[in-house]
Amino acid sequence: MKSEGLSPIVQTIAGILFPMILIFSFYVIMHGHLTPGGGFQGGAIGASAVVMLIVAFGAKNIEKKIREEKLSAFESIGGVVFIAVALLGLVMASTFMSNFLVGDIIFGKIPPFGSNLGILNSGGILPILNLAVGMKVIGGLSAVVLVMALASKEEKNDI
Amino acid sequence: MIYNVPFLAVVVLIAIGAYALLFKRNLIKIAIGLTILESGVNLFLITLGYREGDVAPIYTNLPSGRGMVLPVPQALTLTSIVIGVAVLALILSLIIRIYRKYGTLDSHEMRRLKE
Amino acid sequence: MRKRIGAVVFLVFFAFLLLSVYDLHEFGAPPSEMDDYIIKNTQNETGANNAVTAVVFDYRGYDTLGEATILFTAVAGVMVLFRKGGENEE
């Protein structure tokens, strides 16, 4: 059985498509408070881009470039950012995870009532939380698929 | 009674999932039955919050003069889908380890090979 | 013998499900007081256009914290099951 992945045509096209899918997933994550989407949906799109690379190139070649400890660290950074922003809401206002940026400078415009075109500058702490959850989902799902693909390949070599 | 067709579809999905979970012997078929049961529950959560003739609850480019569907059941369904993915990942990892130790995927054989 | 008890229990469960469909509200007219408040006040209080994202991260943000913990626990469990090189310790 070939353990190097698929044919060169598939490897070239996968290398071209990978940055486009990553950019699309970043767009869905950042526009989570204006259009349908958000943290979990954009994270699933990004994880499927990494899985496409694993299928096209073989699990052993990907494991030399992106080791699974780095994917695990990427996921943990997302979790720490989520809890840090929520505790910051306890310090600034009076409740845990309160929306303290509405009306301020960074993400603070309030849109007018009714149908409008959508302002990227609005939303309070929602874009920051979307980014943290998106990092968590991409890191977690890619690490799970990489570990399972490596484990099922080494059994064929034993028998 | 003829208008409750989505609820009847939910009952059919839950019954198929429960049948595969109780009466099959292969471990992979039990895992598939668990996934079908979970899809039925997600469909039930979404169809609880539908109002007749309304659109999605988003204010960007809303067509004028329409009402909105309830947003809270959709938020609960998002959480339920992610929990299903996590449970399925752990179940499949356990099945791979069991297959390496016993050499078979039949659940009735595994009760007798206690060592 | 065991299969017959299982078949009877399954038929009772299926009949209970069909009976509960008869008692639900009509499809298309749900009771909604909390959701009317949320739809009316999303843009003042949170400043977002998307009501579903506002419910997931602002009105019910504590559930999303629990779900992030579940994702972390599942990934940690899979990593523990597939660890190699640790059996031949000194």
**Residue C87: inside a domain:** no
Q: Do A59 and A153 touch, CB atoms closer than 8 A? A: yes
Rounded average pLDDT over B14-38: 94
pLDDT-derived band at A74, boundaries 50, 70, 90: very high
Predicted TM-score (pTM) of this structure: 0.89
B23 contacts C13? CB cut-off 8 A = no
pLDDT-derived band at A119, boundaries 50, 70, 90: confident
**Does A85 have pLDDT greater than 80?**
yes
Q: Which pLDDT tens digit goes with each residue over C30-72? A: 888 899 999 989 888 888 889 999 999 999 999 999 999 999 9
**Residue C37: inside a domain:** yes
Q: Which domains does chain B have, with CATH numbers?
A: 5-110 (1.10.287.3510)
**Does C89 have pLDDT greater than 50?**
no
Percent of chain A with pLDDT strictly greater than 90: 53
Percent of chain C with pLDDT strictly greater than 90: 49
Q: How many domains does chain C have?
A: 1
* String of DSSP letters for A75-124: HHHHHHHHHHHHHHHHHHSSSTT--TTTTSSSS-B-PPSSSB---TTB-T
* Angstrom distance (rounded) from CA C87 to CA C33: 59
B90 touches chain A (CB under 8 A): no
Q: Do A136 and A43 touch, CB atoms closer than 8 A? A: yes
The residue ranges of every structural domain in chain A are 8-158
Range of the domain at C21: 2-81
Q: From A44, A79, A32, select the one nearest C58 (Cα to Cα).
A: A32
B90 contacts C78? CB cut-off 8 A = yes
**Does B59 have pLDDT greater than 50?**
yes
**Residue C59: inside a domain:** yes
Residue from the list B50, B74, B86 with its beta carbon closest to the beta carbon of C74: B86
Q: What Rg, from alpha-carbon coordinates, does chain A have?
A: 20
The whole-number pLDDT of residue A76 equals: 94
**Residue C61: inside a domain:** yes
**Residue C24: inside a domain:** yes
**Residue C32: inside a domain:** yes
B12 touches chain C (CB under 8 A): no
The whole-number pLDDT of residue C90 equals: 45
Q: Phi, psi (5° rounding) for residue B26?
A: -75, 140
The whole-number pLDDT of residue C46 equals: 86
To test the contact with chain A by mutation, choose from B60, B66, B98 the residue with the greatest count of A C-beta atoms within 10 A, namely: B60
